[in-house]
C-alpha cells in the first residue's frame, strides 16, 4: 500500500517548524494584551467612581438669633356680627318694595308693603261682629231687668196675700227666669270680649302688611319684587337679609382637632382674603366652641374671631385664611429644622472585611454605633443633635429644643452661638 503524504507537512516536519503551533501562540499573546487593557480601563473607571463617591460637600446654614412666632393655620368665612332675616307672617301680593341692595335702614323703616284689601275687609267684619255683640248685651240686660221686676212683683203679691198667691211653683219659675237671663247676659258679655279680640287680631294682620326693619343696618339681600305672591303657610318666607353693623364683623374658622388644644380665647391672629392680595388683617379670638363637626372624616372645631372693618373693605361671605398666634418667643437662638433632621452617613473602612463586595465598599453607609448613639440621645424629644464642621470634620452638638414654626426651632445649649454654620444636607461633588 502506498500512503498519501503532504509535501508541505513533510517539509515543515523535516525542518522542525510547526505552523499551527505558531498561530496559537500568536493568538494567545493578543488575547492577554486585550485582557490587560480591559482590566486597566475597568480599574480606572472604578477608581474614578470611587473618588467621586468619596468626595462629599456639606451644605450649611448659620445659627440665628431672633423672634420666633408659632402659628396655627385655619380657614373660614367672614360673617356679620348680627344678621337678621326679615320675612312675612301673612300671605298676599307684594304691592311695593321700598328698599334695594346695600341700602342703609333704621329701626321701623318700611321695607315693603303687601296688598291690604283682604285684611281691611276682615277688620270691617270684625268691627261689625263687635257691635252686634255689644247690642246683644244691651238686649240681654233688658231681659234681666224684666225678669227681676217680675220676680219682685210676685214676692210683693205673696206678702200681701199672706203667702197665698202666687203659688210656690210660679215663684220658683220667676226665680229661674231671672237666673237664665243673668247667664245669658254673661254669655253676651263674653262674646263682646271675643269679638274685641278678633278685631284686634285682624287689625294686627292689617298692620303686618307693612314690613318694617327690626334693626339699624344694611340690606344684604332682597328676595322679593312688586307683584310677587308671598305664601306664608308653614314657614315665613325670607324677603330681606339685613346686617346690623358691617364695621364690626366675625371670622368663623375651622380649627383642626390636632391644634385646638393650643387655641384659646384672647389670642391674636392675622388673616388674608383673595380680594385684597398682599394685605393682612388683624383679628382676635372671642370664642372657641366645644361642639365639633366632621367633614370628610376630618374633625374640626368652630372658632370665632372679632374683626375690625372700619373701612368696609371686607364683605360677608369672603373666604379667609387665618394664622392664629399660639406662642411667641423673643430673642431666641434659632436653628433650621433641616439641621435637626440631618444624620451624617459614615463610610466603610478602607480595608474591607472578608467576603465584602465591591458595591458595599464603594457606597457610604451608616455606622451602627453612631446610629445607636443618636437613637439613645433622641429618646427624649427635647434633646437632639446638630452637626457643625471643624477642621473639615463633622462635630455633633447636643441641644435642647423648644418651640418651632415648622422652619426654625428654638434651641438652648452652651456650645451653640449665633453665626455657627450647621450642616443641613450633603451632596456628592462632581469633580
pLDDT of 252-293, one tens digit each? 999 999 999 999 999 999 999 999 999 999 999 999 999 999
CA atoms within 13 A on the CB side of 319: 2
Q: For residue 84, name the pLDDT band (cuts at 50, 70, 90).
A: very high
- DSSP alpha helix (H) spans, 249-301: none
Q: What is the pLDDT of residue 34?
A: 77
Under CATH, which number does the domain 57-66+333-428 receive?
A: 2.40.420.20
Q: For residue 101, name the pLDDT band (cuts at 50, 70, 90).
A: very high
Residue 166: DSSP 8-state = S
pLDDT surpasses 60 at 197: yes
Q: What is the pLDDT of residue 2?
A: 43
Convert the pLDDT of each residue in 17-62 to its tens digit.
455 556 666 677 777 777 777 877 776 665 565 554 456 688 899 9
Q: Which helix (H) or strand (E) holds 79?
A: strand 64-80
Residue 246: DSSP 8-state = T
Q: What is the pLDDT of residue 50?
A: 53
pLDDT surpasses 60 at 366: no
Cell, residue 113: 308693603
Cell, residue 252: 368663623
Tell me the C-alpha distance between 135 and 292, whole Å.
Answer: 64
Q: What is the pLDDT of residue 363?
A: 46
CA atoms within 13 A on the CB side of 171: 13
Find out whether 252 and 304 touch, Cβ atoms under 8 Å.
yes
The stretch 128-132 carries a mean pLDDT of: 96
Could you tell me which residue, 16 or 225, shows the higher pLDDT? 225
CA distances from 1 to 4, 5 (A): 10, 13
Task: Indicate if the alpha-carbon torsion angle 151, 155, 157, 158 is positive or negative.
Answer: positive
Find out whether 363 and 399 touch, Cβ atoms under 8 Å.
no
Q: What is the four-CA torsion angle of 384, 386, 390, 393, rounded to 10 degrees?
A: 90
Share of the chain above pLDDT 90, in %: 61
Nearest CA-CA partner of 219 in 105, 310, 87, 106:
105
Three-state secondary structure call for residue 226:
coil
Could you tell me which residue, 368 or 342, shows the higher pLDDT? 342
Convert the pLDDT of each residue in 135-154 to its tens digit.
999 999 999 999 999 999 98
Could you tell me which residue, 373 or 313, shows the higher pLDDT? 313
- Block residue for cell numbers 462635630: 395
Tell me the C-alpha distance between 110 and 107, whole Å.
Answer: 9
Q: What is the pLDDT of residue 392?
A: 79
Q: What is the pLDDT of residue 24?
A: 66
What fold is seen in the domain 71-81+245-329?
A: Elongation Factor Tu (Ef-tu); domain 3 (2.40.30)
pLDDT surpasses 60 at 408: yes
CA distances from 131 to 119, 197, 201, 203, 238 (A): 19, 13, 16, 16, 38
Find out whether 389 and 421 touch, Cβ atoms under 8 Å.
yes
Q: What is the pLDDT of residue 1?
A: 40
Find out whether 271 and 249 touch, Cβ atoms under 8 Å.
no
Q: What is the pLDDT of residue 241?
A: 95
Q: Mean of the per-residue pLDDT values for the chain? A: 84
Q: How many helices (H) and strands (E) does the chain have?
A: 7, 19
Convert the pLDDT of each residue in 310-343 to its tens digit.
999 999 999 999 999 999 999 999 999 999 999 8
Tell me the C-alpha distance between 82 and 96, whole Å.
Answer: 26
Three-state secondary structure call for residue 350:
coil
Backbone angles phi, psi at 103, to 5 degrees: -75, 140
Q: What is the pLDDT of residue 235?
A: 78
Q: Which helix (H) or strand (E) holds 30?
A: helix 19-54
Using CB atoms within 10 Å of the CB of residue 186, give its burial: 0 to 12 exposed, 13 to 18 middle, 19+ buried: exposed
Q: What is the pLDDT of residue 107?
A: 95
Tell me the C-alpha distance between 384 and 396, whole Å.
Answer: 10
- Block residue for cell numbers 196675700: 161
Q: For residue 216, name the pLDDT band (cuts at 50, 70, 90).
A: very high
Amino acid at each position: 500500500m502506498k500512503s498519501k503524504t503532504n509535501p508541505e507537512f513533510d517539509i515543515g516536519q523535516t525542518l522542525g517548524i510547526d505552523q499551527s503551533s505558531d498561530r496559537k501562540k500568536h493568538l494567545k499573546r493578543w488575547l492577554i494584551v486585550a485582557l490587560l487593557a480591559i482590566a486597566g480601563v475597568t480599574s480606572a473607571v472604578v477608581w474614578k467612581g470611587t473618588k467621586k463617591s468619596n468626595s462629599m460637600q456639606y451644605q450649611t446654614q448659620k445659627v440665628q438669633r431672633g423672634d420666633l412666632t408659632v402659628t396655627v393655620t385655619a380657614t373660614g368665612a367672614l360673617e356679620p356680627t348680627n344678621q337678621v332675616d326679615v320675612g312675612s307672617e301673612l300671605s298676599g301680593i307684594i304691592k311695593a318694595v321700598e328698599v334695594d341692595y346695600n341700602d342703609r335702614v333704621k329701626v321701623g323703616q318700611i321695607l315693603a308693603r303687601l296688598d291690604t284689601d283682604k285684611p281691611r275687609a276682615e277688620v270691617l267684619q270684625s268691627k261689625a261682629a263687635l257691635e252686634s255683640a255689644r247690642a246683644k248685651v244691651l238686649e240681654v240686660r233688658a231681659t234681666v231687668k224684666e225678669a227681676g221686676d217680675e220676680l219682685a212683683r210676685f214676692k210683693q203679691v205673696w206678702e200681701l196675700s199672706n203667702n197665698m198667691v202666687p203659688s210656690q211653683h210660679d215663684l220658683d219659675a220667676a226665680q229661674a227666669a231671672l237666673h237664665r237671663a243673668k247667664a245669658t247676659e254673661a254669655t253676651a258679655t263674653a262674646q263682646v270680649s271675643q269679638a274685641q279680640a278678633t278685631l284686634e287680631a285682624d287689625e294686627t294682620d292689617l298692620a303686618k302688611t307693612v314690613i318694617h326693619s327690626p334693626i339699624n343696618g344694611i340690606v344684604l339681600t332682597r328676595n322679593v319684587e312688586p307683584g310677587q305672591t308671598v305664601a306664608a303657610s308653614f314657614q315665613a318666607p325670607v324677603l330681606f337679609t339685613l346686617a346690623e353693623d358691617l364695621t364690626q364683623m366675625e371670622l368663623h374658622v375651622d380649627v383642626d382637632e390636632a391644634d385646638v388644644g393650643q387655641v384659646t380665647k384672647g389670642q391674636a391672629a392675622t388673616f388674608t382674603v383673595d380680594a385684597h392680595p398682599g394685605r393682612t388683617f388683624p383679628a382676635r379670638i372671642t370664642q372657641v366652641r366645644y361642639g365639633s363637626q366632621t367633614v370628610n372624616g376630618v374633625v374640626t372645631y368652630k372658632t370665632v374671631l372679632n374683626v375690625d372693618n372700619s373701612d368696609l373693605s371686607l364683605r360677608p361671605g369672603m373666604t379667609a385664611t387665618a394664622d392664629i398666634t399660639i406662642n411667641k418667643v423673643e430673642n431666641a437662638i434659632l436653628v433650621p429644622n433641616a439641621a435637626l433632621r440631618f444624620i451624617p452617613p459614615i463610610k466603610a473602612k478602607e480595608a474591607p472585611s472578608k467576603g465584602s463586595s465591591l458595591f458595599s465598599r464603594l457606597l457610604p453607609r451608616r455606622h451602627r454605633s453612631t446610629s445607636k448613639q443618636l437613637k439613645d440621645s433622641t429618646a427624649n424629644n427635647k434633646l437632639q443633635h446638630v452637626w457643625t464642621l471643624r477642621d473639615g470634620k463633622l462635630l455633633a452638638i447636643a441641644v435642647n429644643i423648644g418651640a418651632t414654626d415648622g422652619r426654625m426651632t428654638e434651641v438652648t445649649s452652651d456650645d451653640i452661638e449665633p453665626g455657627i454654620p450647621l450642616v443641613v444636607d450633603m451632596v456628592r461633588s462632581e469633580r
